Amino acid sequence: MIKTCIFPVAGLGSRFLPATKSIPKEMLVVVDKPLIQYAVEEAKAAGIERFIFVTSQGKSAIEDHFDRLQLLEQTLEKRKKFDLLHKIVDSALEPSQAVYVRQPAPLGLGHAILCAKHLIQDEAFAVILADDLILSKTPCLKQMINAYTPEDGNMVATMVVDPSHVSRYGILTISEQIEQKIRAINVVEKPTRDVAPSCSAVIGRYILRHELLDTLHKQSPGAGAEIQLTDAIQHMLPTTPLTGYSYEGERFDCGTKEGWLEANIAFACQNEDVYAHLVPMLKRYVDNYTHQH
């Protein structure tokens, strides 16, 4: 049973400056919730009970968001705004559930996960990157946990990308695929199009064996002088299998402006109240742009 999830949220969010000078990128809102809340809700739906946030300086808004705010709750209750009250109470995490640790320097995803090593026992654990927002009927991590067995070793969520985009991702070398599970013999970080072994790309959902933390601890810096998670997964092969999971759903890269904007449109389409205004609004702007050009 996988009950612990790590959320690496120490990144600078430089693509969204100047907004992220004072607001963590994980607190950027899609329709009516910040990205990190979508990530936590996905983890909750998958049965996660312990939430480890790897933060950095200036990220206190994340901790505040999952805390209880008595004055706000009392005010909403007095004003009988119970629907809003339930939303903020449901989004909170109990003190025993949430753990916050600091990453002292931006030394890579692998290093961020390593910062939580002392909190992980002899158990497999999950990792969610809040930048990767996934719209699906069944939450992505729940799909993975339902499918996972110890024989899968380290499991990564995968999606098929356009060949021209392989240089943006870790790409799997595939030995076989049975239904949604991909047996991989290698993972190549950001290969050029001419040497990419496939178009199966790793995205920000992981189920990792606890032994990976020891591998990260011994690992030398890789690309960008950072401790790379992909390198650690690679080093564990072939003694520990690597399984890709082809999930159901649509992924939005909210680490980019265009991905974040598309996510807002896609999630707004799932909200009946917002959708009623969205379509005529978009049509008006498209028509005006077309007329002007």
Residues spanned by the domain of 282: 263-293
- CA atoms of 35 and 29, how far apart (whole Å): 6
CATH number of the domain to which 88 belongs: 3.90.550.10
pLDDT (tens, 9 = 90+) of the chain, 293 residues, equals 899 999 999 888 888 888 888 889 999 999 989 999 999 999 999 999 999 999 988 888 898 888 888 888 889 888 988 888 888 888 888 888 999 999 988 888 999 999 999 999 889 999 999 999 999 999 999 999 999 999 999 999 999 999 999 988 889 999 998 999 999 999 888 888 888 899 999 999 999 999 999 999 887 766 667 788 988 999 998 899 999 999 999 999 999 999 999 999 999 998 888 888 888 888 888 888 888 77
Please tell me whether residues 164 and 280 are part of one structural domain: no
Please tell me whether residues 108 and 134 are part of one structural domain: yes
- CA atoms of 150 and 293, how far apart (whole Å): 57
Q: Give the predicted TM-score (pTM) of the model.
A: 0.92
Please tell me whether residues 285 and 232 are part of one structural domain: no
Please tell me whether residues 248 and 204 are part of one structural domain: yes
Please tell me whether residues 138 and 217 are part of one structural domain: yes
